[in-house]
């Protein structure tokens, strides 16, 4: 796995939304909420929460590495500490007594943005939120059964940031630094 990707932090973002949904959440809804959280944080702070690789998939934009943990194609004790497979395309908290206070990888600003994303989109079902991303995230292109990369610079561009390429360079430089020190 990528040295710069913090699985524990991604799991805590997922756990935040599972907590808000009552302990379990549909995979499609969760993937959209995580993407929209990174996007909202980029709009406010010029960096994503997860630093994940972004891709266009049939059902909209996705945080690629996080999605691998959500759908079970990647495994980690750090993910399992917070999230577990559920039945019928659901994921659940791995511990029913988990609370927001346990999300120690997330800053106050990140928790605030996650809460704002939940307030705006949490009432939507999985198809409503998917459709919303199709209509309102112009960085997403329908890959027609495949997946294609979404550059951070494109997200920044569609957020109205004039220096999107510079901001993307900063995010990618942070990845290189994390890899160097790991």
Flag whether 149 is in a domain: yes
On whether residue 83 sits in a domain, the answer given is yes
Q: Would residue 136 count as lying in a domain?
A: yes
Q: Give the CA count within 13 Å in the CB-facing half-sphere of 11.
A: 24
Write out pLDDT tens, residues 100-156.
999 999 999 999 999 999 999 999 999 999 999 999 999 999 999 999 999 999 999
114 backbone φψ class: left, alpha, beta (φ>0; ψ -120 to 50): alpha
Q: Is residue 2 part of a domain?
A: no
Domain hosting 120: range is 7-181
Res. 12 pLDDT band, cuts 50 70 90 = very high
Structure tokens at 143: 């890959």
Considering the domain boundaries, does residue 1 fall inside one?
no
pTM for the model? 0.93
Task: Match 């939120």 to its residue by tokens.
Answer: 129
Higher per-residue confidence, 28 vs 3: 28
pLDDT at position 4: 73
- Number of domains forming the structure of the chain: 1
Res 110: pLDDT: 97
| CA 47, 38, 148, 132 torsion-angle sign | negative
Question: Per the domain annotation, does 62 fall within a domain?
Answer: yes
């Amino acid at each position: 796995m990528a040295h710069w990707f913090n699985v524990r932090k991604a799991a805590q973002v997922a756990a935040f939304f599972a907590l808000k949904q009552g302990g379990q959440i549909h995979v499609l809804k969760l993937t959209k909420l995580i993407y929209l959280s990174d996007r909202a944080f980029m709009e406010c702070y010029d960096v994503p929460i997860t630093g994940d690789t972004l891709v266009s998939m049939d059902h909209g934009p996705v945080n690629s590495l996080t999605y691998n943990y959500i759908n079970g194609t990647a495994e980690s004790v750090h993910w399992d500490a917070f999230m577990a497979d559920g039945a019928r395309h659901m994921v659940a908290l791995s511990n029913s007594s988990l609370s927001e206070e346990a999300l120690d990888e997330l800053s106050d600003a990140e928790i605030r943005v996650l809460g704002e994303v939940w307030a705006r989109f949490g009432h939507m079902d999985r198809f409503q939120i998917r459709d919303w991303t199709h209509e309102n995230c112009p960085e997403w292109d329908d890959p027609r059964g495949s997946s294609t990369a979404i550059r951070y610079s494109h997200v920044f561009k569609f957020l109205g940031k004039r220096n999107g390429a510079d901001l993307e360079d900063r995010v990618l430089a942070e990845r290189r630094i994390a890899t160097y020190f790991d």
